[in-house]
Amino acid sequence: MSKPIVRFAPSPTGRIHIGNARQALMNALFARREKGVFVLRFDDTDLERSKREYADSIEVDLAWLGIPPDVVVRQSERVEFYDEAADRLRAVGRLYPCYETSEELEFRRKRQLARGLPPVYDRAALKLTEEERAKLEAEGRRPHWRFRLDHRTVAWTDLVRGDCHVDCGSLSDPVLVREDGTYLYTLPSIVDDVDLKISHVIRGEDHVTNTAVQIQIFEALGAHLPLFGHINLLTTASGEGLSKRLGHLSLTSLREAGLEPQAVASLAVLVGTAESVRPVADLDELASLIDFAHISRAPAKFDEHELDQLNARLIHEMPYEAARSRLAALDSDGGEAFWLAVRGNLTRVADAVHWWAVVRGPVTPVIEDKAFIEAAAKVLPDAPWDSATWKTWTEAVKAATGVKGKALFMPLRLALTGLDHGPELAALLPLIGPDRVKARLSGQAA
């Protein structure tokens, strides 16, 4: 295979969500694995709804996921190419002007439905004479432009879905150019795919019908066809579609909630495929797991709870070096011993702040049996302390008091940390250190 060129083509009309991230990752990681090119294309021909701030936030999100694009293009800067393609389609009679208002179209649609007919555009505009057209123009009507479909079945071999057929005889001729001369998504997408030599169009399965229409337009422009792959969509756990407009699970919000990008990427890529969903910290490894032919056809459910679990599993394995600067930014870099002591108790890196506060104090000790704690304090080993100190100490406490098991550990934990749960005390004890331990055992907040 020659090197693939792929694209992720969001319209910057909102913040992207995890379903969009799935499309982006499938493209970017495939390109990464095959040493190809990953293009970020902003479908921003809708000037009213597209916003630069959304485009910028999408770039930030992709960089956070670890998949910055190799090339960025904006459709708003490429209109001359779309004009040129539209002219070529007009010249060969495939793009024709239509003058119906949306009310007229709606009226016809309702009438067709009432008669039990499919609500397909009836091509009335194709029958207009020159004079009728001139008259409409003289009345001040501006045309929108439709692509004249061939009424035939379009077939392709989809990378995900295998053999696909769409009967274009049952589709309305698509509007490519609006009344005001601006373009809908369909034509610019093809022009850019041709110009940028996109080899694989990998996108959501909501585009299957579009693909049939677009294949006809590629052919009408005499262009070489890319390969197509339509990936199942993600839904919420209750089965609703994700929506950019509703701000569903935006990547920005997941990032701000302190989730690891690898947790988000692992879930976004692996859910609804033949692979089990598991945390994969390395993007090359995640890329090696992508297999378009084994993506499920059913929509994949995205469960936020699963994301937390993946995040926790990643953190439980995270080396100190990876956590260090983030701990420092949280003012909680307690060194490698601290990180290794607490990471197993964290769901998010920021939770470490809590345990650093327990180590550094002040902690208000919880002491129920004062005599027992005093007895324990008397047999504290001498400094220096290390990871074996806890065992030495608790054996001495057991020998001195006859108390063992939970009855021994829990009062010590409560006295040292003020809590009834937490990381291994063997690891915490040397971090808390003799001075604070002595103070806490004597009932002082330290």
Q: Please report, in range form, the residues annotated as the binding site.
A: 244
Q: Which residues line the annotated binding site for ATP?
A: 244
The answer to whether 207 contacts ligand GLU (rule: CB under 6 A) is yes
The answer to whether 300 contacts ligand GLU (rule: CB under 6 A) is no
- Report the residue number, 176 or 414, with the smaller CB distance to ligand GLU: 176
24-63: which residues touch ligand GLU (CB under 6 A)? 43
Residue 256 burial (10 A CB sphere; 0-12, 13-18, 19+): exposed
Q: How far is CA 333 from CA 79, 261, 320, 360, in A?
A: 52, 21, 10, 11
Binding mask 123-162 for ligand GLU (x = CB under 6 A): ----------------------------------------
The answer to whether 266 contacts ligand GLU (rule: CB under 6 A) is no
Query: How far is residue 407's CA from residue 414's CA, in Å, rounded to a whole number?
Result: 11
CB of 207 to ligand GLU, least distance (A): 6
Task: Please state, as a whole number, how many other Cβ atoms lie within 10 Å of the Cβ of residue 371.
Answer: 8
Angle CA(433)–CA(437)–CA(438) in degrees, nearest 5? 120
The answer to whether 361 contacts ligand GLU (rule: CB under 6 A) is no
Q: How far is CA 143 from CA 181, 295, 381, in A?
A: 9, 42, 90
CB of 180 to ligand GLU, least distance (A): 20
**H-assigned helices in 208-317:** 208-220, 251-256, 261-270, 283-288, 304-317
CB of 70 to ligand GLU, least distance (A): 17
- Report the residue number, 11 or 417, with the smaller CB distance to ligand GLU: 11
The answer to whether 260 contacts ligand GLU (rule: CB under 6 A) is no
Segment holding 20, helix H or strand E: helix 18-33
- Report the residue number, 171 or 233, with the smaller CB distance to ligand GLU: 233
The answer to whether 10 contacts ligand GLU (rule: CB under 6 A) is yes
The answer to whether 65 contacts ligand GLU (rule: CB under 6 A) is no
CB of 421 to ligand GLU, least distance (A): 45
Query: How far is residue 416's CA from residue 446's CA, in Å, rounded to a whole number?
Result: 10
Considering just the CA atoms, what is the radius of gyration of the chain in Å? 31
CB of 185 to ligand GLU, least distance (A): 6
Query: How far is residue 228's CA from residue 216's CA, in Å, rounded to a whole number?
Result: 14
Tell me the β-bridge partners of 302: 236
CB of 224 to ligand GLU, least distance (A): 17
Using CB under 6 A as the binding criterion, the count of chain residues that bind ligand GLU stands at 8
The answer to whether 185 contacts ligand GLU (rule: CB under 6 A) is yes
The answer to whether 192 contacts ligand GLU (rule: CB under 6 A) is no
CB of 193 to ligand GLU, least distance (A): 8
The closest of 11, 5, 2 to 30, measured between CA atoms, is 5
Query: How far is residue 260's CA from residue 308's CA, in Å, rounded to a whole number?
Result: 10
The answer to whether 203 contacts ligand GLU (rule: CB under 6 A) is yes
Query: How far is residue 400's CA from residue 372's CA, in Å, rounded to a whole number?
Result: 10
- Report the residue number, 11 or 332, with the smaller CB distance to ligand GLU: 11
The answer to whether 189 contacts ligand GLU (rule: CB under 6 A) is yes
Binding site for ligand GLU (CB under 6 A): 9-11, 43, 185, 189, 203, 207
